[in-house]
A and B are shown apart, each in its own frame.
Chain A
Amino acid sequence: MKNPLITFVFVGLLLSFHNGFAEPVKIGMITTLSTKAGYLGEDIRDGFMLAMSQENGKLGGIPVELLVEDDDAKPEKGKQIADRYIVKDGIKILTGIVFSNVAMAVVPKVVRENVVYLSANAGPSKLAGDGCSENYFSVSYQNDNLDEVVGQYVTKVGHKNVYLVAPNYPAGKDHLAGFKRYYKGAITGEVYTKLGQADYAAEIAAIRAAKPEAVFFFLPGGMGINFLKQFSQSGLNQTIALYGPAFSFDERLLKAVGPAALGVKNGSQWSHDLDNAANKQFVAAFRQAYGRTPTLYASQGYDTARLIGSALQAVEGKLDDLGPFKTALKAAHFDSVRGNFSFGKNQHPVQDLYIREVVKTADGEYTNRTIEKVFENHVDAYAAECKM
């Protein structure tokens, strides 16, 4: 029931007119389409497919075929799909994994097998630091980036003490570490909750008693919705400023949180209101194609597809030797919807990071508005550890 084999096949129709018959380049997408987090993979896939449909099934003028499979957010399942893609389908380009634990099970293995992996979301620290590889590119971010930008902003705004909340698992600790790397004030409390916890009444009462100036939380998915709703019901949102990375504030979650998130500031590398031509075109096309505002995951899927397109164009679709293809990827000659974009030496993005605020639009929807650019050409903290 949970694992429908969803395969989308796109064939470049026009090419067959000119060249008789050309094999399309296959791209394998492993992503999370079922479970509660299924909408993340859905947006990555939809963003990627938008770039393909804009070129009538091609990327960079080269016909491509996208294969999509659902990893169920399970590392072992991701590994199986990757093996099948590489051995059975002979795929050289993989992308799409949503969760860092799945990425850690798949990426280190596939990059040793002469396959290029481009991350459209997960950016675990290991792969940015001493586990970096010339076959691995992160098009999204390094996980800590979205926390670092908030840390810097909270310091700049001048909050003297902050209370931290995250789930008790490795990524929770990483995200708080990212915040603390740039936050210079005092920390009143640091609470690690049970992963998947639904009720935060006890933690919120403790925050009320601790009286911090601000709260920074990393609670992905439904946990963040619960926390935001309960925090606002407790009335604390009137007196305590709330901050977090973008994960709890994408346009699809905001529909479920509604007014409880109003005014909350969050850190992101992209926002639908960024003022550049590529982004305006992308947001309008995505809304037209799918009838909803794209999330940052959709923007990452779209950027990944366009980056692949730029490199395929440079090598004219030839992937027998991956060397030139990787060189072309690293050059990143494409118009990112983020504006500024290049790769650092660990092949992670060197990009601008922004603080956004949740606002209510005239037609009653909740969305993000970019407030300011906090980092320009930000390099992640692990780049120095990468020996490449």
Chain B
Amino acid sequence: MLLLAEQILNGLQLGITLFLMSAGLTLVFGIMQVINLAHGSFYMIGAYLGATAFAATGSFFAGIAAALCGSALAGMLVEFLVLRRLYYREHLDQVLATFGLIMFFNELTRMIWGRQPLFMNPPSWLEGSIELLPGLIYPVYRLAVIATGLLVALLLWFLFSRTRLGMQIRAGASNRQMIGALGVNIRLLYTLVFGLGTLLAGLAGVMAGPILSVESGMGESILILTFVVIVIGGIGSIRGAVVGALLVGLVDTLGRAFLPMIFRIFLDNAYADGVAASIASMAIYILMAATLIWRPRGLFPAHG
């Protein structure tokens, strides 16, 4: 039972990271109709800048600030220099251009920081583990990640449902031409939305820094999961991103944790481990396929 609780926390933590990634991507996708494969690069930029600033200043908050500013600025710069030219092109052109950006950023980090992965530890006040329940020990840092993610989800909800900017973004997601006709500066709105998306990716990156290895190309592995999340959640929908991310996080973690045990009941051990490992890594794709059969536009599609 305690193991189940711990694994649910693990799933939640993965889900939160995925949510931060997919919130930005789904906005860009939903509002600007741009497929941005380079979203993972901003995650990497956040992690690199965060690790560097943390190491230089010794302050974790300085690391977070550097990551947020850096990834948001890099995002807006990319929007201004590259994506603006692609809004009216086909999706294939966008895929090619943003795929090129992935390689560009990976090689850039290698040139600036070298091939060797960077080191980043949690700040001393978030180190170690605490006992949540008798026998349930959990790393403090991961709890902090969960809390931060929930806070960001609340802030986003506030931004979208209670502010003028949020209203414009939502309007942009449902009807681009109309909001342009109503006199909203759609170019500026696009740059802001893109910057907000990359800022969230940078936050996810800097929070992953103490858990994962900060290395060139670290964004690609999470990018695939992020796409799965927004396909499940429905493109352009923040609510879909929340639900999709938590679903994917939980299914992936619980699958990895408990499938081997389940298979061991009716298969011999060595064989069960092999089969379970394969099925666990397919679990989220099976989930995606099932969701698409049931609701072809995802759980909460933004466009009616």
A2 cross-chain contacts in B, Cβ below 8 A? 103, 107
| In the bound complex, CA of A257 to CA of B277 (Å) | 26
**Residues A192 and B103 in contact in the complex (CB < 8 Å), given A38-B115, A234-B139, A256-B214:** no
B7 cross-chain contacts in A, Cβ below 8 A? 202, 205
Cross-chain contact A222 with B215 (CB below 8 angstroms): yes
**Residues A202 and B117 in contact in the complex (CB < 8 Å), given A1-B103, A226-B213, A233-B139:** no
| In the bound complex, CA of A257 to CA of B117 (Å) | 9
Q: Mark B107-135, 1 if CB is under 8 A from A, else 0.
A: 10010000111110110000111000000
Q: Mark A188-199, 1 if CB is under 8 A from B, else 0.
A: 001111101011
A259 cross-chain contacts in B, Cβ below 8 A? 121
B212 cross-chain contacts in A, Cβ below 8 A? 198-199, 222, 225-226, 229
Cross-chain contact B118 with A256 (CB below 8 angstroms): yes
- Cβ < 8 Å to A, chain B residues 196-220: 208, 210-218
Cross-chain contact A194 with B281 (CB below 8 angstroms): yes
**Residues A205 and B6 in contact in the complex (CB < 8 Å), given A191-B273, A255-B119:** yes
Q: Mark B244-281, 1 if CB is under 8 A from A, else 0.
A: 00000000011011001000000001100110011011
B260 cross-chain contacts in A, Cβ below 8 A? 191
| In the bound complex, CA of A323 to CA of B222 (Å) | 52
Interface range on chain A (Cβ under 8 Å from partner): 35 or more
Q: Mark A239-268, 1 if CB is under 8 A from B, else 0.
A: 000000000000011011111000000000
**Smallest beta-carbon distance A129→chain B, Å:** 22
B103 cross-chain contacts in A, Cβ below 8 A? 1-2
**Smallest beta-carbon distance B232→chain A, Å:** 19
**Residues A233 and B129 in contact in the complex (CB < 8 Å), given A201-B13, A206-B257, A256-B213:** yes
Q: Does B88 contact A (CB under 8 A)?
A: no
**Smallest beta-carbon distance B158→chain A, Å:** 29
Interface of B is mostly: helix
Most chain B CB inside 10 Å of its own CB: which residue of A196, A234, A253, A255: A234
B127 cross-chain contacts in A, Cβ below 8 A? 233
| In the bound complex, CA of A226 to CA of B121 (Å) | 12
A55 cross-chain contacts in B, Cβ below 8 A? none
Cross-chain contact B213 with A1 (CB below 8 angstroms): no
When C-beta atoms are compared, the residue in chain A nearest to B252 turns out to be A202
Cross-chain contact B253 with A201 (CB below 8 angstroms): yes
**Residues A168 and B277 in contact in the complex (CB < 8 Å), given A205-B257, A256-B118:** yes
Q: Per a CB cutoff under 8 Å, which of A42, A203, A258 touches B115?
A: A42
| In the bound complex, CA of A35 to CA of B270 (Å) | 33
| In the bound complex, CA of A235 to CA of B104 (Å) | 38
Q: Per a CB cutoff under 8 Å, which of A36, A190, A202 touches B270?
A: A190
Q: Mark A29-48, 1 if CB is under 8 A from B, else 0.
A: 00000011011001000000
Q: Does A230 contact B (CB under 8 A)?
A: yes
When C-beta atoms are compared, the residue in chain B nearest to A206 turns out to be B257
Q: Does A209 contact B (CB under 8 A)?
A: yes
Cross-chain contact B141 with A233 (CB below 8 angstroms): yes
Q: Mark B1-35, 1 if CB is under 8 A from A, else 0.
A: 01100110011011000000000000000000000
Most chain A CB inside 10 Å of its own CB: which residue of B119, B137, B273: B119
Cross-chain contact B277 with A225 (CB below 8 angstroms): no
Cross-chain contact A235 with B121 (CB below 8 angstroms): no
**Smallest beta-carbon distance B144→chain A, Å:** 12
A168 cross-chain contacts in B, Cβ below 8 A? 274, 277-278, 281
| In the bound complex, CA of A203 to CA of B10 (Å) | 10
B118 cross-chain contacts in A, Cβ below 8 A? 256
B129 cross-chain contacts in A, Cβ below 8 A? 233-235
**Smallest beta-carbon distance A312→chain B, Å:** 31
| In the bound complex, CA of A194 to CA of B221 (Å) | 11
Q: Per a CB cutoff under 8 Å, which of B116, B121, B210, B214 touches A39?
A: B116
Most chain B CB inside 10 Å of its own CB: which residue of A190, A233, A252: A233
A257 cross-chain contacts in B, Cβ below 8 A? 119
**Residues A225 and B217 in contact in the complex (CB < 8 Å), given A168-B281, A201-B13, A208-B137:** no
**Smallest beta-carbon distance A347→chain B, Å:** 31
Can you list 10 contacts pairing A with B, beta carbon distance less than 8 Å? A36-B115, A39-B115, A168-B277, A190-B270, A202-B256, A230-B211, A233-B122, A235-B128, A256-B119, A258-B119
Interface residues of B, Cβ cutoff 8 Å to A: 2-3, 6-7, 10-11, 13-14, 103-104, 107, 110, 115-119, 121-122, 127-129, 137, 139, 141-142, 208, 210-218, 221-222, 253-254, 256-257, 260, 269-270, 273-274, 277-278, 280-281
Q: Apart from A168-B281, A192-B274, what are 13 other A-B pairs with CB-CB below 8 Å?
A: A36-B115, A168-B278, A190-B269, A190-B273, A201-B14, A205-B3, A206-B257, A209-B2, A226-B213, A229-B212, A233-B128, A256-B214, A258-B121
